[in-house]
Amino acid sequence: MLNREIKWYFPETEEEAVAVKRENVDTLYHAGGTGILRTKSQKIKGLIDLSALDLNYIKKEGNTIRIGATSTYSQICKTSLTEASLQMLKGAVSRAGSTLLRNRITMGGSLIDAPYWSDLFSTLLCLGAHLTYRRLDLTVETCTVKEFLDRRLKKENVLIREVILPVKEDLIFFVRRFTRVFFDYPVFNLAFCAKRVKKKGGEYAIGEPAIFVTGVKRFYRELTEAEEFINNNIVDSRLIEECMKHVDAEFTPDRNFGAEYKLLMLKSLFKDGLEELLPNFIKTGDQ
């Protein structure tokens, strides 16, 4: 359980928040608080409330969508912006937890907490999303979500500021999660996105595919072999069947599912997602 004598701090700027963190190593940044409540660590001596910081927004700037770190999953689901990359993110976070939890879970908190069952990361990795963060020395830096994970930046007590999604034209995508029942932590999450590229004959092919799965060993895996196989190809039933031979990931067995069964379900969900996208590849004039 949490320390009963926990101290709250209420900074009004990012600089004040970071200064508190720098001077009080046993404090945590607090936005939604769902991760803190789950761990309930006795080591936490203080909480730094981020609600007064100007980090709650979802807006389009040029060819990007910018999402402030204290924006909640529910706010993402309710935004009126219609860009495909944001719709893909909506599809992922709308399945996370219950409505009450989505009202509390924030983008920044999810990035720092990073549980293996997170619905967020496979989609952000797929989209090539970036984030900005402030270090304890107050410098602001930008990196991809992939770099954030690989460099384990969450261990460096950074303050997440925003997530940046690229606006991609003619984007096709799907997200899938494997659970025992709908309202459950996912065993793994799968995300796919690509450009729809028109060929000379009027047919459409897949361009620049990105396929990521989370909930595997080492947290995430990019399915590069499958990406290379389908890239610049016209999708049909035959191609989908052949693509399954190039889908591979290393899972950890648990009390519910073996590693081989998880891989089987990954292939099944990936095949289902590609088949759902088939109408996007009908030759112009055939519809």
Examine the pLDDT at 42 and tell me if it is beyond 80: no
Tell which wins on pLDDT, 287 or 161. Answer: 161
Whether the predicted pLDDT of 184 surpasses 90: no
β-pairing verdict for 46-49 and 7-9: parallel
Q: What is the mean pLDDT of residues 68-74?
A: 94
pLDDT of residue 66: 97
Query: What pLDDT was estimated at residue 97?
Result: 74
How confident is the model over 95-100, as a mean pLDDT?
A: 78
| pLDDT score recorded for residue 287 | 44
Extended beta strands in the chain, E state: 7-9, 27-30, 46-49, 58-61, 64-68, 130-134, 140-144, 159-166, 171-178, 188-198, 204-216, 219-222
pLDDT band at 185 (very low <50, low <70, confident <90, very high): confident
pLDDT at 252 over 90: yes
In the chain, % of residues over pLDDT 90: 67
Nearest to 149 by CA among 136, 158, 161: 158
Q: What mean pLDDT value characterizes the chain?
A: 90
Strands 46-49 and 27-30: parallel
Separation of alpha carbons 106 and 63, rounded Å: 23
Under the banding of pLDDT at 50, 70 and 90, the label for residue 286 is very low
pLDDT top residue among 266 and 117: 266
Cα 100 to Cα 34, 72, 88, 103, distances in angstroms? 11, 11, 21, 5
- Identify the band that residue 169 occupies on the pLDDT scale cut at 50, 70 and 90: confident
Decide which of 98 and 48 is more confident.
48
Query: Which pTM does this prediction carry?
Result: 0.91
- Mean pLDDT across 198-214: 89
27-31, 92-96, 231-235, 272-276: which has the highest mean pLDDT? 272-276
Percent above pLDDT 70 for the chain: 93
Element (H, E) at 150: helix 145-150
| Domain architecture of the chain: domains with CATH | 7-49 (3.30.43), 58-166 (3.30.465.10), 171-281 (3.30.390.50)
Residue whose token pair is 């035959």: 238
- Does 287 or 171 have the greater pLDDT score? 171
C-alpha distances in Å from residue 204, one per residue of 74, 199, 208: 35, 6, 13
Give residue 143's pLDDT.
97
Tell me the sheet residues that pair with 141.
133
pLDDT at site 102 = 83
